[in-house]
Structure formats: structure tokens, C-alpha cells
Structure 1
Amino acid sequence: MASTPSTLTDEHRELAIDASVLINLLGTGEAEAVLLALARPIIIASEVYREVKRDPFTGTDATGIVSALETRGLVTRFDLDAEGTAHMLDLVSAPGSDALDDGEAATIALGARRRCCVVIDEMRGRRIANGVPIEAGVLGTLDILACRSVQKALGETRFHAAILSAARAARMRFPVEYGAWVETLLGEDEARSLPGLRAYYRTRR
């Protein structure tokens, strides 16, 4: 089993995931297996459901794919209540660099209302979520993809392929601090070809 940069723990009992995270999961080609391996409730705001429009492999409508995950109970969709909606609108209408799109804002508001962990990748969204603060913490896609239970469920070959597929099909971006781990996993030649690692390689110049 590969080492892991994941900070996901058993204390993260429920995960509210943003649209980009769900797209990355679809991009692995192993979304069902990953969600099953996580073995905890994965929730999305209705605004996130509406934002995930494109299958990262085919470019066609992804609504059916997400609906199938929902039907199987692998993700659960939530409408925000009045307080959550007000929180979302505050985040969307924040001034300047603090403004978020609907999906990010709804994910943070949902996490705050349910007191659960928020999984979001964009730096602005993470900064805002950490400032709310989210009671159960803020994670990113790699925290859930690279956790031990997912690696064990997929096995080495499928896990390697899933990370590479998400990087290519969904154009998943990797945090700079995890760049060395991804490079070790995929090999330097493969890693350098991925747009999601450009920021990491810029830091090494």
C-alpha cells in the first residue's frame, strides 16, 4: 500500500462535498468503489447537484450518473433550510475576493448547518470555510481519494489508475504540499505531464 498524505480520520463522520470534488470522483472511473470504501455519509447541497453537468469522460450530461449514485445511497442530496440559505447568500454576496460561487457557498453552509466536515479544493473556498469556522474541519479531494480505506479497496493498480484518471479526465489539481507524494506515486515523467501539478513544479525551479 502506498503512503498517504490524507488527513481523513474516523472523526470525519460525514462529508459535505463540493462540485469540483464530485467531478474529481467521477473522473477516477471508480466513484462507486471510492464512495463505498469511505463508509460514511457523503452529502451534497442541491446547488452542487445542479453544477455537476458534465461527465468528465464523455462530455455528456452527468445528471444520470449522479442520480444513480444517489439512488444507491452513496450520496445524499440536501436542500438548505432558511438559515442555511441565508448563510449561502451571505457567502455569495461577500465583497471582492471573499465572494464564492453558489456550489461552494452551499457546501460550506451545509457543512456549518450539519456540523460536518467540508471537502472543497479551491483555495478561496477553503480559506472562507476555515474562517466560518467549520466545526468538523476542511479537507480536499486528495484526502478522501488517498485515504487508507480507498487504497485498500482499490488495490495498488486500480488506485494508481484512479489518481491518474482523475488528473487527466477531471483535470484534478493537487495541492503543492502533496506534489512530492503524487510524483512518487505516478513517477516523475507522468507527473510532469499533468496540468494539476504545474504549481508544484513551479516551486521547484
Structure 2
Amino acid sequence: MIREVSLSSTDEAVFLDLVAGPTSLTLDDGEAATIAYALGSGAGALIDERKATDLCADRYPALIVMSTTDLLLADPIVSSFQADGLRECLFLALTVARMRVPERHLAGVCELLGPDRCRECRSLPAAWRQSETSRLTG
């Protein structure tokens, strides 16, 4: 399901535009390559980094950008997991990979994890970690 791809010369120009320049206007190689390839191929881009998603919304509003959370919570993925598999996958993504959860998914992710596990996820916003018990029970 995963394969290596190459950037076309047009994609490379987009890539260079995204990595060269002032730090506030540029991205890391991985995000830049993902965006350049997605634009050139007509595919969507799977990006978690906020700066990159904001840049895409500004420069490339037609580009479909999804987060890892969007992918993990998609119906075909959810239905492929056994009992606690999704919960464990989300927990590991949050604690080991420090996945960022978009605001629109915070309530759903925290409900799946439960308050004890939410407190262990440093990549969740502090307000969600500290007050998760009241959010889930109130």
C-alpha cells in the first residue's frame, strides 16, 4: 500500500519554493515533498504539522489535506481494528510519535482514550489532559 514516488520537475519547483526562504514561510523537507507531490499528482496530502496545514489552506486551498487523526478515524480504518486496537493505536501515536490532534477531533479522541490515558498524552493540549475527567463526565 506504500510506495516510493519521484517528484516531476514541476513538483520539484514547488518543493524548492516551499523549503527556500525565510523560516516563517518555509517548511521541512517532508511536508514540502508531500505537498509538492500531492499538488502534481492530484492526490490528497496527509500532514499533521500545523504550519504546513495553514500554509496549504492559504496557498493551495483546493488541495485536500488530512491529518493522521482523520485517517485513523475514517470508517474503513475504524472497522478494521479489533476491540481495543484503535484505542491502543491512538494512544501510541500520541505518546510515542507525539501526534497532534486537530481541534475538531479532540473530543472524539479523548472519549475513545478515556481520562487516565488522556493524562499520559503530552501531545494533547494541557486543558484537555488536565480537565478530561470533567469533560467526559460533565
Query: Shorter-chain TM-score: which interval?
Result: 0.7 to 0.9
8 Å contact 2:53–2:65 — kept in the other structure? yes
Aligned length: 131
Q: Which of 107, 110, 119 matches 1:183?
A: 110
Counterpart CA distance in 2 for 1:97 and 1:132 is 14
Bigger CA radius of gyration: 2
The aligned counterpart of 1:155 is: 82
- Residue 155 (structure 1) shift: 2.6
Counterpart CA distance in 1 for 2:103 and 2:130 is 8
Counterpart CA distance in 2 for 1:158 and 1:148 is 14
Counterpart CA distance in 2 for 1:167 and 1:150 is 17
Q: Which of 14, 17, 29 matches 1:87?
A: 14
The aligned counterpart of 1:143 is: 70
Counterpart CA distance in 2 for 1:134 and 1:83 is 19
Counterpart CA distance in 1 for 2:128 and 2:103 is 8
Structure number with the higher helix fraction is: 2
- Residue 116 (structure 1) shift: 1.4
8 Å contact 2:12–2:36 — kept in the other structure? yes
1:115 aligns with 2:42: yes
Q: Match of 1:91, as an amino acid?
A: L
8 Å contact 1:191–1:197 — kept in the other structure? yes
Distance 1:134 1:193, change over 3 A: same
Structure number with the higher strand fraction is: 1
Q: How does 1:15-164 map to 2 (within 5 A)?
A: 74-133=1-60, 135-164=62-91
Q: Match of 2:12, as an amino acid?
A: T
Gaps of 5+ in 1: 1-73
8 Å contact 2:115–2:129 — kept in the other structure? no
| Identical counterparts, % of pairs | 31
> Runs in 1 of length 4+ with deviation above 6 angstroms?
none
Counterpart CA distance in 1 for 2:15 and 2:8 is 10
Q: Match of 1:77, as an amino acid?
A: E
Distance 1:199 1:130, change over 3 A: farther
Gaps of 5+ in 2: 132-138
TM-score of the superposed pair, with normalisation by structure 1: 0.58
Counterpart CA distance in 1 for 2:129 and 2:17 is 35
The aligned counterpart of 2:92 is: 165
Q: Per the alignment, in what secondary structure is the counterpart of residue 98 of structure 2?
A: coil
Which structure has the higher relative contact order (CA within 8 Å, separation 6+)?
1
